[in-house]
Amino acid sequence: MQPPVAVAASAAQLGAVSLAASTLGAIGSDDASAALRAFRTSCSVAVRRQDVSGLTTPSDWAAPCDAATSWPDVRADQFFTSQFTPVRVGEGTAFATGYFEPEIMGSRARRSASDVPIYGVPGDLERCWRDDTPESEREGRAPLSRRMPDGGCVSHFTRAEIEAGALNGGAPVIGYASDGIEFFFLQIQGSGRVRTPEGDIIRIGYAGQNGHSYTGIGGVMRERGLLGDGLGQYAGSMQGIMQYLRENPRDGADLMRLNESWVFFRELTGEGPIGSIGVPVRGQSSVAVDPKFVPYGAPVLLDLDRSVANGLWIAQDTGGAIRGPNRFDTFWGAGNEAREIAGGMSGRGQAVILLPRAAANRLTR
């Protein structure tokens, strides 16, 4: 029996190498202009946040961020070619999906028994070592859990338990979603808009999670032979999965409960939605990454078999399913077109990370 293959814990451990400057020749002017505007918003984070990928230090970002403040958008392509060095992390083999800011119907007050509460963060949600966790395993960061009135710590409620009313009175309610399936996918996206019958918009963003692991129901459906091109199968896109859930409500509800993760929200004001580093994400410019392999704020150049996603993106977000090197989730904004592109996005190809020159100089070409 072969021993398991060790998985690198960060980009620095996996290995990163500088590439020829000509690699950046694929950057287009329009693409670069939008990326530069997004990059500027990340600078306040990049210059002060510890980079867990091990590739950069906060001081590395000072030069490009200073230059970005006055650099004209019309010459944005020159900004990226002059301030950064292209770098490949590992083999550079990329896989990209897509996400968007969904808009669902809902209301401030419950209008139907089938309405689903949009919960804020429960008062008992806390990072603590659960009572049944042995002392020898209490290393690193404690998991999100439930603090009991007697001081004990246990796992928080699962999706099924929350649906059954376990949080009634135990968490603030921002509003109610009219469609449970739409809300399920909004939780996966991590943010969205709730449109009321009066036409008002309630914008909500990620505020926390119940500490249970995310399970992608698409993968479960593939294992069960429900997705594919065959007779009786459903398309492997978000749209195909939603079709199955609607046509098979009882089995669909059980399927959704296999994803025990539940997302809690906060109401947003101003520009948004807000990414995991606290800055607004922008359609066709922001990308979610695993920060252990891509520094937050870093430009990313994608070359995929889905050409619509090719070009320059800025790492400004992450997600429960975005794990490992060269794994990306491209953000497409709001609206029907964004929904269609994001829902069907599954692209493979190559990824190049752009590092500040000071950071790249420490790498071996």
CATH domain 11-99+274-360 topology:
Barwin-like endoglucanases (2.40.40)
Under 8 Å between Cβ of 352 and 86: yes
Residue 231 makes CB contacts below 8 A (sequence gap 6+) with none
Starting at the edge strand that comes first in sequence, how are the strands of the sheet with 201-209 ordered? 116-119, 173-177, 103-107, 191-195, 201-209, 263-267
Residues of the chain within CATH 2.40.240.50 domain(s) are: 101-267
Radius of gyration of the chain (CA): 22
Q: pLDDT value at position 7?
A: 60
Give the tokens for residue 111. Answer: 């209008």
Boundaries of CATH 2.40.40.10 in the chain? 11-99+274-360
Nearest CA among 50, 52, 53, 46 for reference residue 15: 53
**How big is the CA angle at 143 (ends 48 and 180), to the nearest 5 degrees?**
100
Residue 15 φ/ψ, nearest 5 degrees: 115, 135
What pLDDT shows up at residue 332?
A: 95
In this prediction, residue 308 carries a pLDDT of 95
| The two structure tokens encoding residue 185 | 């996918």
Task: Reply yes or no on domain 101-267 having CATH 2.40.240.50.
Answer: yes
Q: Which pLDDT value is given to residue 319?
A: 83
Q: What's the CA gap between 66 and 363, in Å, rounded?
A: 23
Please tell me the predicted confidence (pLDDT) of residue 3.
Answer: 41
Residues of the chain with pLDDT under 70: 1-7, 272, 364-365
> What does the chain come to in residues?
365
**Can you give the pLDDT at residue 2?**
44
Looking at residue 238, its pLDDT comes to: 87
Residue 78 has, within 13 A of its CA and on its CB side, a CA count of 6
Cα atoms found within 13 Å of the Cα of residue 310, Cβ hemisphere only: 12
Strand-strand pairing, 327-334 and 16-18: unpaired
